[in-house]
A = this chain, B = another copy of it.
Amino acid sequence: MAITPKSMDPNALEFEVIAREGEARTGILKTRRGVIETPVFMPVGTAGTVKGVRFEELESDDLNARIILGNTYHLWLRPGIEIIRACGGLHKFIGWERAMLTDSGGFQVWSLGALRKITEGGTEFRSHIDGALCFLSPEISMEVQAALGAEIAMAFDECAPGEATSEEARRSMELTLRWAQRSKEAFERLQLSAVCDGDEPQREMTALPARQALFGIIQGASHLDLRRESLDRTVEIGFDGYAIGGLSVGEKKPVMFEVIEEIAPRMPADRPRYLMGVGTPEDLVEAVARGVDMFDCVLPTRNGRTGQAFTSQGKLNIKNARFAVDQRPLDESCRCRVCRRHSRAFLRHLYLSGEMLASILLTHHNLAFFLDTMRRVRQAIRSCQFAKFRREFTEQPGSGLGQDCV
C-alpha cells in the first residue's frame, strides 16, 4: 500500500475509514460544506443543474445527496468564468450549499474526438456550443476550478481509449503525469489566495472562498503494469485523494473490474478513492467490494430522460406496451415519492406524450435508487453484512449488465 505524502493542507478535506469488510470500507469525508458518508454516489450536475431535479429534491430525505458534480468544461464555456466569479462562485451562483466536486474538463475535451488536438501544453478544441477555438491546459483548468470553488477539484488529465495499445497508453499516462504535476503546482499557487476564516468565508471576488482539495487521476487504460506505475507516480506527486480515470470508455466489463481490483486496494488507504464515471448499480456494489469510496455517473439522470428506470428487479423500459395499464409503481420495493404516488401506466403516458414530467419523475426515482443502494451498502459494511448484501444484490433477477427484466 502506497504511503501518502501529506503535502497539502489537511484542513481542505478530512477522511476517516470507520468500518471495513474485506476490501470494502465505509468512512466519513469531512468538507467545509458538510460531512459525507462513503461509499457515496455523486449525481452529475453538468451545467450547474442535475438535469430535471430541483435542489430541494436533492436535499430531501428521498435523495439526500451530500455532494454533486459540476463540469469545468461546460461551465467554462457557458456561462463562463467571469459570470460565475461575479456571482460569488458556483455554489452561490446555482444556490447549492452542500459539497461539490468539479472535474477538470480533461475527459470532456478528450471525448470531443475529432474536434480536439492534444499537445504537451494542453488541448485545443472547438466548443460544442458555437465552434469557437478554445484551449484548456492544467493551469487553465485549475484557474477555472478555483473560480468555481468546489470543495474538491480534479487534476487535468488525458484519457486513453479502452482498447489503447501499451505504447499509446504509456504515452497518454506520461502526459497525464506531467499534467498532474503542473495541475498541482498551479493549484497550490491559487490556493495561496484562499481565504478561510471558519464558517463565514470572506466573499472577495478575486479570492477563493476557502481552500479546496485536489485529487489526482490514475490512467493507463487496461494495462495493469501501467496502471500500477500511474498509481505510484501520482501518489508520489501527492494529492488529497485519488481517482481511477479512463474506465467505462469502451473496454469490456471484466477488463474494467480487473483494473479496479488491481488498483483500488493499492490506493492510499487513508485517502478517498474515487472511480470516475462508473456505472450501473451492480458496478457500484462490485467496485465497493474492491475498495472504492466515491462514484459519479450520468446513468440515473440520462437513462431517466430516455425512459429507463433502474429497479430492484432490473432495468425497466417505460415505453413498453405492457405497462399501458400497469398500476404498480416503477419498483414495488422502492419508497421514493415517485413510487409512492405514480403508476407505470401514468409514467408511460407522460413519456409517450413527450411531457417533461416523465424525465423529472424517472430521474428522481433513478437517483433515489442509486443513492439508496449506497445507503444500504454503507449500512451493510457497518454491520458486517456486505458480503451477504453483495450476493443478494448481484443475484437479484435482472441484475448484471443491463438486461431488461421487469
Interface residues, chain A, CB within 8 Å of chain B?
47-49, 51-56, 78-79, 83, 86-88, 92-95, 324-325, 327, 337, 341-343, 345-346, 348-350, 352-353, 355-357, 359-361
Contacts and interface: CB of A to CB of B under 8 A. Distances in A.
Given A324-B79, A360-B360, A51 B345 contact: no
Chain copies in the assembled complex: 2
Given A49-B355, A55-B341, 19 more contacts: A47-B349, A51-B356, A53-B357, A54-B360, A56-B337, A56-B341, A78-B349, A79-B345, A79-B349, A79-B352, A86-B325, A87-B345, A87-B346, A88-B327, A92-B327, A93-B345, A93-B346, A94-B346, A95-B341
A140 to B, nearest CB: 21
B87 A357 contact: no
A346 B95 contact: yes
Contacts of A337: 56
Given A95-B341, A325-B86, A353-B78, A52 B346 contact: no
A195 to B, nearest CB: 20
Contact of A353 (B47, B86, B95): B47
A356 B349 contact: no
28 contacts: A47-B349, A47-B350, A47-B353, A47-B355, A48-B349, A48-B350, A49-B350, A54-B357, A55-B341, A56-B341, A78-B352, A78-B353, A79-B324, A79-B345, A83-B324, A86-B325, A87-B325, A87-B327, A87-B343, A87-B345, A93-B343, A93-B349, A94-B342, A95-B342, A95-B343, A95-B346, A356-B356, A356-B360
A360 B327 CA distance: 26
Nearest to A82: B325
A79 B356 CA distance: 16
Contacts of A348: 79
A352 B75 CA distance: 12
A349 B83 contact: yes
Contact of A359 (B352, B353, B356): B356
Contacts of A53: 357
Contacts of A343: 87, 93, 95
Contacts of A78: 349, 352-353
A234 to B, nearest CB: 33
